[in-house]
Amino acid sequence: MKTDERNKFAIKSFLKNYLDLKKDKDNELETVDSIRKGVEFKGANLWILIFAIFMASLGLNVNSTAVIIGAMLISPLMGPIMGVGLSVGLNDFELMKRSLKSFLITTAFSVTTATVFFILAPIAGSQSELLARTSPTIYDVFIALFGGLAGVVALSTKEKGNVIPGVAIATALMPPLCTAGYGLATGNLIYFLGAFYLYFINSVFISLATYIGVRLMHFQRKEFVDKTREKTVRKYIVLIVILTMCPAVYLTFGIIKSTLYEAAANRFINEQLNFENTQVLDKKINYEHKEIRVVLIGPEIPDASIAIARNKLEAYQLKNSKLIVLQGMNNEAVDVSSIRAMVMEDFYKNSEERLQEQQKKIAKLETSLEQYKEYDSMSRTLVPELKVLYPSITSLSISHSLETRIDSMKTDTVTLAVLQFSKHPSETEKEKISAWLKARVKAKKLRLITE
């Protein structure tokens, strides 16, 4: 028992030593003050946000990831969102009101700015970066949660580093707002709702992560002299939190179900629609309508085979799902852009594989070349030394070769040393020369040939 207790104590001490946040914790008041300052959105802060939205909208319009990242780096959007989480953690109703007010103002200005940009600018079309901001997944939820935790921990430490810009990029708050503006500018309500949905989910979970971080680091809650007012404030905070979290929880539950459905559908397509000499050219999975649409190219698959696959939908938790299989290229449902994307993806993959193979061959040839160069320079170094030891030597040649045994057909590497003498050496001298050369060139196996 004593040994077990010692082991438990050692593990506990180890974890406390490495995972204790209190060791690096900065002055609590300074941390709270820095988050409070980020909540305010007036003057310069608001103009920076407007310019950043213009940059991000331009980046989305021309499909430039670099421009979008640059815009996210200068965006001050994280302030009010973290302020909401901090206010809940500190029981500070005044800070919550200011944070929510700033959050609504920044959101309104951001969407308005993006809408104006996409109304005035020539729209290049729905680029991949725009489309990526209209369909939130469970991964967006986890990114927002862990990103928010990293942000609040970084802000509360002495050496704050550059974590906040990284969190701003990872959680990607700005692109959904720009895409929402694009949806309004083009009259596409689905784009607007999908993008705003993603922005709302990200914001809620960053706030939740800030609250969790504040409570884990035991920040001091706000004390009220008037206990009646304290109860009233807490009721308001709890009410606001419930009103915010209920739709977020409901939407997140929907995201989880959608993600699981898509994963099951993809597994079904890969396992049950993988016919010989036939390739899946395009696929669309619609969770809302419970529909799986697949385009096949290659020899036509009999209806009986497709019916067998359709009967297995229930085994993949896809009961009541509608399977539509389209065959041939003359069908109007074939998405040309998807075909183009798949062809380009295959081309890229094949090109990358060929490039990697060529790089491996080049590396192998360079290694062989280096060995030849090494032996060439080694020969020049060894000749003067051998001349001192054996004055009768007239030439030396060292090379790397492959030797195949006739009896076993095994191939082995061997170092060949060819020496010419004006006076032929004795067997004893040959053995000494061979041993000296083997040690000198660091060869595992050396064959000495004398002339």
Indicate the range of 198-202, 247-251, 282-286 predicted with least confidence: 247-251
28 shares its domain with 116: yes
On whether both 206 and 90 belong to a single domain, the answer is yes
CATH of the domain at 414: 3.30.300
Structural domain ending residue among the three candidates 312, 327, 342? 327
**Whether the Cβ atoms of residue 198 and residue 136 lie closer than 8 Å to each other:** yes
Examine the domain organization and report whether 213 and 103 are in the same domain: yes
Considering only residues 268 and 366, tell me which one the structure prediction assigns the higher pLDDT. 268
Ranges 4-18, 276-290, 334-348, 380-394: which has the least confidence: 334-348
The stretch 264-290 carries a mean pLDDT of 83
Do 293 and 144 lie in a common domain?
no
- More confidently predicted of 259 and 156: 259
Domain boundary pick from 298, 327, 356: 327
Same domain for 141 and 278, yes or no, is no
Report the predicted TM-score, pTM, of the whole model to 2 decimal places: 0.57
| Of 324-338, 386-400, 406-420, the least confident | 324-338
For residue 148, what pLDDT is reported?
76
Q: Which of the residue ranges 13-27, 236-250, 365-379, 417-431 has the most confident prediction, judged by mean pLDDT?
A: 417-431
pLDDT at 112: 92
Between CA 342 and CA 350 the distance in angstroms is 12
pLDDT at 329 over 60: no
Q: At what angle do helices 28-39 and 78-90 cross, to 10 degrees?
A: 130
Sequence-distant (6+) residues with CB within 8 A of 438 are 415, 446
Which of 354, 321, 350, 331 lies closest to 281, judged by CA? 331
> In the predicted model, is pLDDT for residue 265 greater than 80?
yes
In terms of Cβ atoms closer than 10 Å to its own Cβ (0-12, 13-18, 19+), residue 172 is buried
Q: Is residue 341 part of a domain?
A: no
333: pLDDT confidence band, cut at 50, 70 and 90?
A: very low
Same domain flag for 72 and 148: yes
| pLDDT for residue 225 | 61
Q: Is residue 197 domain-resident?
A: yes
Helices and strands, counts by H and E, the chain:
15, 6
Q: Are residues 188 and 279 in the same domain?
A: no
Identify whether residues 183 and 105 lie together within a single domain: yes
Is 354 or 257 the better-scoring residue by pLDDT?
A: 257
Residue located via tokens 């946040």: 21
Compute the distance between CA of residue 381 and CA of residue 371 in angstroms, rounded to an integer. Answer: 15
Task: Taking the CA atoms of 58, 62, 67 and 73 in sequence, report the sign of the dihedral they define.
Answer: positive
For residue 169, being part of any structural domain is answered with yes
Q: Which pLDDT value is given to residue 122?
A: 66
How far apart CA 177 and CA 393 sit, in angstroms, is: 82
Q: How far from the centroid of its chain's Cα atoms is residue 2's Cα?
A: 46
Position 16 scores a pLDDT of 65
On whether both 52 and 186 belong to a single domain, the answer is yes
Residue 16 lies in a domain: no
Do 65 and 207 fall within a single domain? yes
78 contact partners, CB below 8 Å, separation of at least 6: 38, 151, 164, 167, 168, 171, 173, 206
**Claim to verify: residue 189 and residue 81 sit in the same structural domain:** yes
Q: Which pLDDT band holds residue 99 (cuts at 50, 70, 90)? A: confident
Q: Say whether pLDDT at 339 is over 60.
A: no
Euclidean distance between CA atoms 208 and 82, whole angstroms: 9
**What is the domain extent for residue 215?**
22-222
User: Measuring CA to CA, which residue among 391, 401, 404 is closest to residue 446?
Assistant: 401
Quote the number of domains for the chain.
3
pLDDT score, position 166? 62
Nearest partner of 89 among 197, 221, 266, judged by Cα? 221
pLDDT at position 331 over 50? no
Q: Would the pLDDT of 164 be above 70?
A: no
Residues 6+ apart with CB under 8 A from 156: 21, 25, 26, 28, 31, 213, 217
Q: Specify if 352 maps to a domain.
A: no
78 falls within a domain? yes
Q: What is the pLDDT of residue 135?
A: 61
Residue 397 domain-assigned (yes or no):
yes
End-to-end Cα spacing for the chain: 78
Looking up residue 33, the CATH number of its domain turns out to be 1.20.1080
Q: Answer yes or no: is pLDDT of 267 > 80.
A: yes
Residue 185 is which amino acid?
A
Residue 132 has pLDDT above 70, yes or no: no
Check whether 65 has a pLDDT greater than 70: yes
Mean pLDDT of 402-421: 73
The crossing angle, in degrees rounded to 10, of helices 78-90 and 138-155 is 70
In-domain check, residue 356: no
- Of 202, 222, 242, the residue at which a domain comes to its end is 222
pLDDT at 330 over 50: no
- Say if residue 47 is in the same domain as residue 170: yes
